Chains A and B, each alone.
Chain A
């Protein structure tokens, strides 16, 4: 079986995989990084979004062997160095941007990619960017609000309750 080596959350890792092994299965099964979730089998839901060489990628659409040599980031590596929640994670907690938590890792990873490219997105830009991330719990209200807050925008005018 092919050998793959990559950097995941700053750590060098390696493993043997089948050619058909998806990146998400390598992360969840071999590396036991189970924060990245699988919510569908058609690359629609976005629960499996990770960063590969700085780009947001659905890890269910990429073979592990394609990530050979890559720099991969997952939800487990997102917190601040002291273990506290990063700005995006904290905004999601502050604004109740999650309920069951299953889509949340993908939401956080997609948000990081969005804000890297567009530091002050409008509401419409946030909603459009989330096209590839499905949440069934929140009706998106507090996710959109959290993302705008994470970008430093004043969200106090958006009704909280």
Chain B
């Protein structure tokens, strides 16, 4: 009988919840260090300006002030680098202006830090920032991407253009794609905006730097999704600290959604200040600082064309996108609009021709980078919106049009026209399940009931694929990545049989502390409660690239499996010795090593004890101890897919949209903990619905961020969202990782925005309104304006 806990596939309750529910979580700002002092940053209130002078004398004379830093203090250290080198269509490498620790010479967006005060208390630091006398000569700002490319102000004078790159994917497919569109039976064209979002992890960023002059060692507590990557960037690129002299600890982290992947200048500042002052230096962002300085997401302006033949078969997708990278390149910002977007532009379809052009543009706005989904929501939104529009133009059912063009289960592995080889999937099965759960049969009755109330009911669907389990190092190396994207795990079996598993993935809400032990316990046949996960501390774990891109289980989980396999292999050798049997005769099942065909047996715990008390031990053949490390580099991306449906009611009098139901059917491959997986989908849906309905990051023409607080930026609240119906029973296991898992973290945010917009367009069309597109967010004002011309 299957066990209901402690194994693969069980919905174990999360063990980490107990500390979070009782106020015992330890987030960066909760950790107090003796002798600590406080940093406060002076941030630009103009979007673009020349730093003429910064007079620090008055600030330095303020009570409690210990030091003031400006950009001059960091002029000699390195810049914060971009992790991917993208080449333009003409072969030219992307423009890569320096991103300094503190702005030097110029400020380039509102919130750009140009000085920092260190003081005994946070209030004293804040007061002293007010006393800084900085002369910043405001210059015209450039906010709109097309204006930035057409002779607007230069964000970086030294590169003489605001264009970072002009990328084509795949350039060799361009002519064939153009030809297919020219000769097509029908071409549907759609211009759309993928609205800029602020990630808004509920815990604001925070960092504490510590320096020990006795050992010349640094320690950084910081809100990071990937402490090793942060260490690498600080040591190898920015500050030149030897990597063995810096420990980075990301303790409990209150959400990330991409925004905490990146290294930020504040981390370097607190380390430098800690060394100079000999005191621990801490900084915690206010929410206002988070709005102004956390890397934002999305912000694409796109034109997409879909060519179909007379039978409705897709012949080509051609996309031209302007991608805002903001004022500086953030670590993933060049990968997000290119290889996480362009490579997905074939969707779930057998389309033969795909061409994507992306122009990345510098503007006087906060840097833009990966946010939950990162490029794949933008790809899915463009595809699934233009397909829906095409179906309407052709007068065919939008689901039938998609089904006709799906890659079929017998076609895998399938080399898609956008350059990726999908290993497995079954998109019709997902659609079937979605139609069943969303009760398609009852739709017309519900539509009539809505009409009777004076409301317009619409239904939208979506079929998405994403590439996650990021990422195969060989492939991303070819594509321009400057790092590898493997992960690592060490399984340490203690003498008494308990386990510590050190993992490179970082849990900031995903439940690793519960789910990873389920995997190891299942493999070893032992109690999951005897296994603890260690993560987030570079001094304790072997290495790791962290958590993003739905990679934790697919990549790091695979490393855990490989390390556990090594443990079993060594334990079997020890057991064979203990049982006086040949290794090949020893089987391992339910936590016991047994000589096949006999009742001679030793438990895993007895073997562990033997490994650490090696009396009568074959030391010439086997080392004492039981600890193994594995690095795992995936052979391919994983390809989760799904079919989503949404029903909305629109009030034609006001434009108010209400979500009546939302159904998400996903194929994540094998599922380790269904409860956690459902929770990940719920969260992604909340953020995707937020993008579609509520959230927008509005800059005015001068580069002032109008939506810079929770009073101006509409975060989804509980009463904005429905209960969701989610399902992950349609499983095609990933073929190339040992758990057969694909990743579930981003799906909800990828699949939901086009589903909602499709539903609203359907509702308006059902009411006789000739509306074919509305840009997100679908606020009542926008919907009403679209209905009323």
Residues of A within 8 A of B (CB): 18, 20, 28, 32-42, 44-45, 47, 74-76, 78-79, 85, 89, 92-94, 96, 98-105, 108, 123-124, 126-128, 130-131, 133-145, 158-161
Contacts and interface: CB of A to CB of B under 8 A. Distances in A.
Given A18-B123, A101-B254, A135 B726 contact: no
B96 interface: no
Contacts of A39: 202-204, 254, 287
Given A39-B204, A131-B717, 17 more contacts: A33-B23, A42-B710, A75-B21, A96-B675, A99-B510, A100-B201, A124-B719, A127-B718, A130-B718, A131-B718, A134-B717, A137-B255, A137-B509, A138-B682, A139-B724, A140-B718, A141-B723
B674 interface: yes
Given A39-B202, A101-B17, A134-B202, A139 B678 contact: no
Nearest to A159: B725
B619 interface: no
A35 B22 contact: yes
Contact of A99 (B13, B24, B679, B723): B679
Contacts of B686: 136, 138-141
Contacts of A42: 287, 709-711
Contacts of B29: 34, 38
A92 B201 contact: no
A139 B710 contact: no
B14 interface: yes
B133 to A, nearest CB: 24
A80 to B, nearest CB: 11
12 contacts: A35-B24, A35-B25, A44-B711, A74-B23, A100-B201, A100-B203, A100-B252, A104-B21, A127-B719, A139-B689, A140-B717, A159-B726
Contact of A34 (B30, B254, B685, B726): B30
Contact of B676 (A92, A96, A100): A96
Nearest to A140: B718
B546 to A, nearest CB: 15
Contact of B509 (A38, A76, A99, A124): A99
Contacts of A75: 21-23
B281 interface: no
B724 A101 contact: no
B718 to A, nearest CB: 4
B609 interface: no
Nearest to B255: A100
B254 A45 contact: no
A124 B722 CA distance: 10
Interface string B1-33: 000000000010110111111111111011010
A161 B728 contact: yes
B718 A143 contact: yes
B753 interface: no
Contacts of A36: 23
Nearest to B671: A161
Top 6 nearest A-B pairs by Cβ distance?
A35-B23, A139-B686, A101-B20, A102-B254, A100-B509, A44-B710
A137 B16 CA distance: 15
Contacts of B19: 101
B461 to A, nearest CB: 19
A159 B13 CA distance: 17
B20 A98 contact: yes
B674 A158 contact: no
Contacts of B201: 100, 102, 136
Nearest to A35: B23
A140 B721 contact: yes
Given A92-B17, A96-B14, A142-B679, A101 B509 contact: yes
B682 A104 contact: no
B23 A76 contact: yes
Interface in B668-698: 674-679, 682-687, 689
A140 B748 CA distance: 14
Given A37-B27, A102-B202, A138-B686, A130 B724 contact: no
Nearest to B284: A38
Nearest to B684: A139
Given A41-B288, A100-B509, A141-B723, A134 B715 contact: yes
B723 to A, nearest CB: 6
Among A40, A105, A144, A158, residue most surrounded by chain B Cβ atoms (within 10 Å): A40
Interface in B214-261: 252-255, 257
A12 to B, nearest CB: 19
B530 interface: no
A91 B590 CA distance: 32
A89 B19 CA distance: 11
Interface string B266-295: 000000000000000000101110000000
Contacts of B716: 139-140
Contacts of A78: 22-23
A130 B719 contact: yes
A57 to B, nearest CB: 16
Contacts of A28: 30
Contact of B287 (A41, A93, A130): A41
A116 B716 CA distance: 26
Contacts of A35: 22-25
B500 interface: no
A108 to B, nearest CB: 6
Nearest to A39: B202
B200 interface: yes
Contacts of B718: 126-128, 130-131, 133, 135, 140, 143-144
Contacts of B22: 35, 75-76, 78-79, 85, 89
A40 B709 CA distance: 8
A40 B710 CA distance: 8
A138 B679 contact: yes
Contacts of A161: 11, 674-675, 677-678, 726-728
Given A96-B676, A102-B203, A141-B724, A108 B509 contact: no
A24 B674 CA distance: 37
A93 B710 contact: no
Contacts of B287: 39-42, 45
B508 interface: yes
B511 interface: yes
B726 to A, nearest CB: 6
Contact of A85 (B18, B204, B257, B677): B18
A136 B288 contact: no
Contacts of A140: 682, 686, 716-718, 721
Given A99-B679, A104-B20, A136 B255 contact: yes
Given A101-B17, A127-B718, A159-B726, A135 B675 contact: no
A103 B13 contact: no
Nearest to B748: A139
Contacts of B721: 127, 139-141
Contacts of B24: 35, 76
Interface in B547-597: none
Contacts of B25: 35, 101-102
Nearest to A104: B20
B536 to A, nearest CB: 13
Given A35-B24, A100-B203, A93 B17 contact: yes
B307 to A, nearest CB: 37
